[in-house]
Amino acid sequence: MNRREFLKRSMVVVAGMAVPAAALQLIDPKQLLAAKPQLRWAFIVDAYKCVGCGFCVKACKLENEVPYEANISRTWVERYVVKKDGEVLIDSPRAARDGFTTKKIEVGDGKYREVRDEEIEKAFFVPKLCNQCENPPCVQVCPVGATYSTADGVVLVDRKWCIGCGYCIMGCPYGVRFFHPVHKVAEKCNFCYHRITKGMKSACVDACPFGARQIGNLRDPNDPVTRIIMTERVGILKEEYGTKPQVYYIGLSKEVR
């Protein structure tokens, strides 16, 4: 054949080989498995049952070696006091590490407000923790790949690789991330990954005396957590951000931030 024929034929061959090669790229078996793994952690918070004792916060700090005196925590509890005139007061003194033991509501650094019992229409407690989002914006904005989502859905931080830029902290709509005061890298709740991967439950789940926290596997249809999420009325936080959070709330109210 002449040169033109040869060139035309080789183009066809190359194009032909490119298609299956691209298909392999598109249908990577590893990614397929990751798309529907056997295990996906999900959490339930029951805001009716929470009494604001703060044992979860204490347990979390000790279990995960977060400095006890520091004013940050991987998990916290918020108190909502809704007055008859509609005003909503919210506080979380020291992240509820010592529980809620006074009627004085913290309204700023060192400032308090007292609300008389007669003025209160409703009051409740809402525990918060990392939502281990399906589409975590914090992972998306990490410039170096120090934070990532595991196949079973937990978002972890690589303490040896994080440069401490703080972009992930800015990127989280729920405010769950912070700088670890000792390790000087980004830090957040990881559902006690070291416990759940051993068949135990998160420290906060075990610590809660009232069953306000539960953890389970969303992919197991018989898991009690999955049963609740599928059959009962549950809510999630800040759905409008498209993060697909995996912490589901019973007893969520319109005042909850």
Partner 1 sequence: MKSHVWRPLFVAIGLVVLILTARVFIVPADFGIGERGYMYGWHRQGNEEEWKRVTVKYKTRAYCKECHAEKVESIGRSPHGALQCENCHGPALDHPKDPPTLTIDHSRQLCIRCHAKLHTPSSGRSKIRGIDPETHNPEAECSLCHDPHHPNLEELKRHE
Partner 2 sequence: MLHGEAWTVKELFVYPNEYIYWTIQIVMYPFLTGLVAGAFVLSSLYHVFGVTKLKDIARFSLVFSFALLPCAPMPLLLHLQQPLRNHHVLMTPHFTSAIAAFGIVFLTYGMIVASELWFVYRGYFVTTAQELRQKPNRTLYETILMRLYSMLVMGAWDVSHEALEKDEKAVKILAAVGIPVACFLHGYAGFIFGSVKANALWMTPLMPVIFICSAVVSGIALCILTYVITMELRKLIVAWRRKENPSLPSPEELGGVETQVVRMTSKYLVMFLILAITLELLDLIFRGYTAVKSWDILRSVIYGKDFTAIFILQYGLGNLVPFILFLLPGLTVRRAVVGTILVLFGVFMMRWNVVIGGQAFSASFAGFMHYHLPLWPHDAETFKEGLFGALMVGSVPFVLFWFLSRIFPIFGQKETH
Residue ranges binding partner 2 (CB under 8 A): 70-73, 76, 78, 88-92, 94-95, 107-109, 128, 137, 140-146, 161-167, 169-179, 181, 184-185, 240-242, 257
Q: What's the distance, CA 125 to chain centroid?
A: 18
Q: Which residues pair with 215 in a beta bridge?
A: 43
Residue 209 sits in the site that holds partner 1 (CB under 8 A): yes
**Distance (Å, rounded) from C-alpha 257 to C-alpha 255?**
6
- Candidates 170-178, 192-200, 224-232, 234-242: pick the segment binding partner 1 (CB under 8 A): 192-200
* Angle of CA points 25, 30, 33, to nearest 5°: 125
Phi and psi (nearest 5°) for 25?
Answer: -60, -45
Q: Residue 214 Cβ, how far from partner 1 at the closest point, in Å?
A: 15
**Interaction between residue 210 and partner 1 (CB under 8 A):** yes
Residue type, 165: C
Name the residue with tokens 């931080």.
157
Q: Which is nearer to partner 2, 18 or 170 (CB)?
A: 170
Residue partners of 53: CB distance under 8 A and separation at least 6: 99, 209, 210
Binding mask 145-184 for partner 1 (x = CB under 8 A): xxxxxxx----x-xxxx-----------------------
**Structure tokens belonging to residue 161:** 């690789």
Residue number with CB closer to partner 2 (29 or 108): 108
Buried-exposed string 66-78: b where 16+ CB fall within 10 A, e elsewhere: beeeeebbbbbbb
Candidate list 10, 38, 71, 102; residue touching partner 1; CB under 8 A = 102
68 contact, one of partner 1, partner 2, none, CB 5-8 Å limit per kind? none
User: Phi and psi at residue 127, in whole multiples of 5°?
Assistant: -70, 145
Q: Which of 12, 33, 107, 182 binds partner 1 (CB under 8 A)?
A: 33
Three-class DSSP category at 250:
strand
User: How many angstroms from the chain centroid is the CA of residue 227?
Assistant: 20
Tokens linked to 236: 């999630």
Looking at the Cβ atoms of 10 and 102, the one nearer to partner 1 is 102
The CA–CA distances, whole Å, from 241 to 116, 135, 248 equal 37, 10, 16
Provide the minimum distance between the beta carbon of 229 and partner 2 in the complex, in angstroms, as a whole number: 25
Q: For residues 202 and 156, give the distance between their C-alpha atoms in angstroms, rounded to a whole number.
A: 15
**Of 52 and 245, which CB lies nearer to partner 1 in the complex structure?**
52
Residue window 221-240: x/- pattern of binding to partner 1, with contact defined by CB under 8 A:
--------------------
- Give least dist CB 221 to partner 1, A: 22
Binding site for partner 1 (CB under 8 A): 30-31, 33-34, 37, 47-55, 59, 62-64, 98-103, 117, 120-125, 135-136, 139-140, 142, 145-151, 156, 158-161, 190, 193-195, 197-198, 200, 203, 206-207, 209-210, 212
